Chain A
Amino acid sequence: MSSERSLKPSSHPSSRRPTLGGEFFVPAVLALITLVYLISAIQLGPPMKAGNMTASFFPIATAILMLVALICAMVHALRGRARASAESSSVDTESHAEIPSGRQYAGLSLGAIGVIVLTAGYLLAFDLIGYFVATFVYVLLLCCLFGGGFRDKWLTKLVAAVAITLAGYLLFEVVFQVRLPTLWSQ
């Protein structure tokens, strides 16, 4: 099934133009972050005062070096794309390696998106409903995500969720005496 899915996009490789992937977009996003950082650094004041460095000198220098490196990385990515585009008409073997094995959204696989959403939900629930309920539900859902759904060996997943929640409680609250939030302590 998975091999079938991975082969589908390459059915007409010669007609596909290599697109700008993470190789370009990761440095591009970092460049945006760096620009915001550079503007904030400039707003801190002049980099030198009375012959001495101020609080803004080092961040400005770091940001400029970073932008130069990011531009190099983006140019490299664009050149790579142009090269791949030239090669794709004659050789399509390399493009096979670039094809992701599953669906991707903003460079994230469905599994990774699942982990992020579940973890964000856990962080919200942790303070609201306390360690026990939040952790049990989070672990159960993670077990389903990593273990191929809830239907397959559901009892094992349920037992694992209870055991991991209890083990976490024993480790942090009992052994290391960390006060974990509870539903009724809020």
Chain B
Amino acid sequence: MDAISGLLGGFAALANPETLLYMIGGFLIGTFFGAVPGLTSVLAIALLLPLTYSLDVTTALVACASIFMAGMCSGSITATTINIPGAPSSMMTALEGYPMQQRGEGAKALGHAALGSMIGGSLGALLLMVMAPLAADVALLIRTPGKFSLIAFALIVIIISQRGSITKGMIATLFGVMIATIGIDVVQPLARFTFGTGVLVQGIDMMPLIIGTFAISELLVQADSRSTRTVDPSMIKAAKVRRRDFIPPLSEVREIGALRYLKSAVIGYAVGILPGAGGSMAAFVSYAESMRSSKHPERYGKGNPEGIAAAECANNSMCGGAFVPMLTFGIPGDPTTAIVLGVLVINGLQPGPQFMTQQLDLIAPMFASLFVSALILIPLTLYLLGPYFLKIVSIRRDVLYSSIAIVALVGSYVATYSTFQMALALVFGVLAYYLRKQKYPTVCLLLGFVLGPSLEEYCRRALSINDGNPLIFFTSPDSLFFIALTAVFFYFMVIRKPKDRGLGTPPAG
């Protein structure tokens, strides 16, 4: 009963004009970053991170949630109209949306994408509200050896989900773990890897790593391009959409069916809970399942609204699922929730099993923001801004990237009022640029950095309370469960690889 009133209190918190403003502002920023090819909602949230030092934690979380939700659906805009997915999660949407655009049904495709996103996002947020307290109760049962095995499971799944580049995923993850060991040891008061400098004693802050990996490296990548605008203006003229065509016909919605929407939402939510999977994996799995179970699989790839609905419903539902492990176990499975974890840590909060009950008043507005963003802001934004989307995202690159550079660098300065953090952001940016060029998943670097200290701490604590006997990991039931789960995932994802079905490999994230 307390939990229900706490969750309802989250919706009431959105009535605060300042919180509402940040939710709407976050949604519009997320829409812009998700729609512009090359930019992602992860970058938008990364740029918001420094500002959370001055923001109220609830407001910051509300803004993060709306950016996350907006970023997942807005990638479909450029995916449909000009066949360039604004975000990796919209690759499947491009397969069906662009053929519809070529038939003159681009607005209708965007309408189907928005409807799928709206249903998936709302169901994902509802499932989060229902499941997170239950997951928190389960999390309370997990002891120290089990916590180690759970984090090890998360890291291994993150690595093996990098299909085709497991070695690179492992290298990036371990490099993140190595960076995290710099500074004071997690158990003893001993400084490690400071190389005689005082500035490294406190360790590497998450902020320069995030800003460098996602913002500075993007600037370096974009510096290679010679175009002056993010989207070619000639493509905009060829891709006009009218507001009255946005509403998808009821007959087509009926043909897709409530079951398809529901199944896609559940798939997206379940994929979201898995570490390292992300929106593109959710859309891919849901699209493949939709094609497999469709009455007309031959229509796929030729402009089928069913495929758009399945992909968009799943990638938005993923948003709700992704928060479950982060809030209940303190284990983020994707970069967005890792940054949200950073927001919480900056404000002195540590997610875990008791977090859901003790701090529900702080996080309930974030749940409400996810739900309201999906149910109201997605269709409203499409209707109001839909016809102007392409003009908005076709922005001068010099203005866009200069602005990003200033927000990123000055934002790094905010944490300690020192240019050392800015310099670290530049160093990590250059490093991430090289890694990205060689197709190393930088998401793994961040997740290794975030999860590494907990992995070491639980491992050492588990062994010290059992006289250094490693068998504790196999005799403790919770630990054994996660080891068995790791083996199952390893078998199905590495030894017996999933069938490709001719759809290609989804990118991570």
Residues of A within 8 A of B (CB): 2, 22-23, 26-27, 30, 34, 37, 40-41, 44, 48, 50-55, 57-59, 62-63, 65-66, 69-70, 72-73, 76, 101-102, 107-109, 111-112, 114-116, 119-120, 122-123, 126-127, 131, 135, 138-139, 142-148, 156-157, 160-161, 164-165, 167-168, 171-172, 175-180
Residues of B within 8 A of A (CB): 51, 53-55, 167-168, 170-171, 174-175, 177-178, 181, 185, 187-188, 190, 192-193, 195, 216, 219-226, 228, 396-399, 401-403, 405-407, 409-410, 413-414, 417, 419, 422-423, 426, 430, 433-435, 437-438, 440, 452, 455-456, 459-460, 463-464, 467-468
Contacts of A122 in B (CB 8 A): 409
CB–CB B410/A48 < 8 A: no
State how many angstroms separate the Cβ of A138 from the closest Cβ of chain B: 7
Complex Cα gap A76–B413 (Å): 40
State how many angstroms separate the Cβ of A112 from the closest Cβ of chain B: 4
Residue of B nearest to A59 (CB): B181
CB–CB A142/B170 < 8 A: no
State how many angstroms separate the Cβ of A116 from the closest Cβ of chain B: 6
CB–CB B403/A164 < 8 A: yes
Residue of B nearest to A165 (CB): B406
Complex Cα gap A142–B319 (Å): 35
Complex Cα gap A178–B185 (Å): 31
CB–CB A126/B228 < 8 A: no
25 A–B contacts, CB within 8 A, in A order: A26-B435, A27-B171, A37-B193, A55-B187, A55-B190, A59-B181, A62-B178, A66-B174, A70-B171, A101-B224, A107-B434, A108-B433, A111-B220, A112-B224, A123-B419, A126-B422, A135-B406, A139-B405, A139-B406, A143-B402, A144-B398, A147-B397, A164-B403, A168-B407, A176-B51
CB–CB B188/A55 < 8 A: yes
Contacts of B226 in A (CB 8 A): 2, 148
State how many angstroms separate the Cβ of B456 from the closest Cβ of chain A: 4
State how many angstroms separate the Cβ of A44 from the closest Cβ of chain B: 6
- Contacts A62-B177, A135-B406, A178-B414 hold; do A53 and B463 have CB atoms under 8 A apart? yes
- Contacts A26-B440, A111-B223, A176-B54 hold; do A123 and B426 have CB atoms under 8 A apart? yes
CB–CB B423/A123 < 8 A: yes
Complex Cα gap A131–B467 (Å): 56
CB–CB A123/B422 < 8 A: yes
CB–CB B401/A59 < 8 A: no
- Contacts A59-B192, A114-B223, A146-B223 hold; do A172 and B414 have CB atoms under 8 A apart? yes
Contacts of B54 in A (CB 8 A): 175-178
State how many angstroms separate the Cβ of B55 from the closest Cβ of chain A: 8
CB–CB B437/A22 < 8 A: yes
State how many angstroms separate the Cβ of A1 from the closest Cβ of chain B: 10
- Grouping DSSP codes into helix (H, G, I), strand (E, B) and loop, the A interface class, with mixed when no group exceeds half, is helix
CB–CB B437/A148 < 8 A: no
- Contacts A112-B223, A126-B413, A164-B402 hold; do A76 and B167 have CB atoms under 8 A apart? yes
Complex Cα gap A41–B166 (Å): 26
- Contacts A55-B190, A59-B178, A164-B399 hold; do A119 and B406 have CB atoms under 8 A apart? no
3 tightest CB-CB pairs across the interface, nearest first?
A: A111-B223, A51-B468, A147-B398
- Contacts A59-B192, A119-B405, A147-B398 hold; do A66 and B175 have CB atoms under 8 A apart? yes
CB–CB A116/B435 < 8 A: no
Complex Cα gap A163–B475 (Å): 63
Out of A23, A52, A102, which one reaches B464, CB within 8 Å?
Answer: A52
CB–CB B406/A146 < 8 A: no
Contacts of A168 in B (CB 8 A): 406-407, 410
State how many angstroms separate the Cβ of B145 from the closest Cβ of chain A: 14
Contacts of A40 in B (CB 8 A): 192-193, 195
Complex Cα gap A8–B181 (Å): 47
Best-surrounded residue of A41, A55, A168, A175 (most CB of chain B within 10 A):
A55
State how many angstroms separate the Cβ of B466 from the closest Cβ of chain A: 10
Contacts of A138 in B (CB 8 A): 405-406
Complex Cα gap A119–B295 (Å): 56
State how many angstroms separate the Cβ of B187 from the closest Cβ of chain A: 7
CB–CB A63/B414 < 8 A: no
Contacts of B410 in A (CB 8 A): 131, 135, 168, 172, 178, 180
Complex Cα gap A126–B258 (Å): 57
CB–CB A171/B459 < 8 A: no
Complex Cα gap A174–B161 (Å): 44
Out of B175, B224, B409, which one reaches A111, CB within 8 Å?
Answer: B224
Residue of A nearest to B177 (CB): A62
Complex Cα gap A27–B437 (Å): 12
Residue of A nearest to B226 (CB): A2
State how many angstroms separate the Cβ of A37 from the closest Cβ of chain B: 6
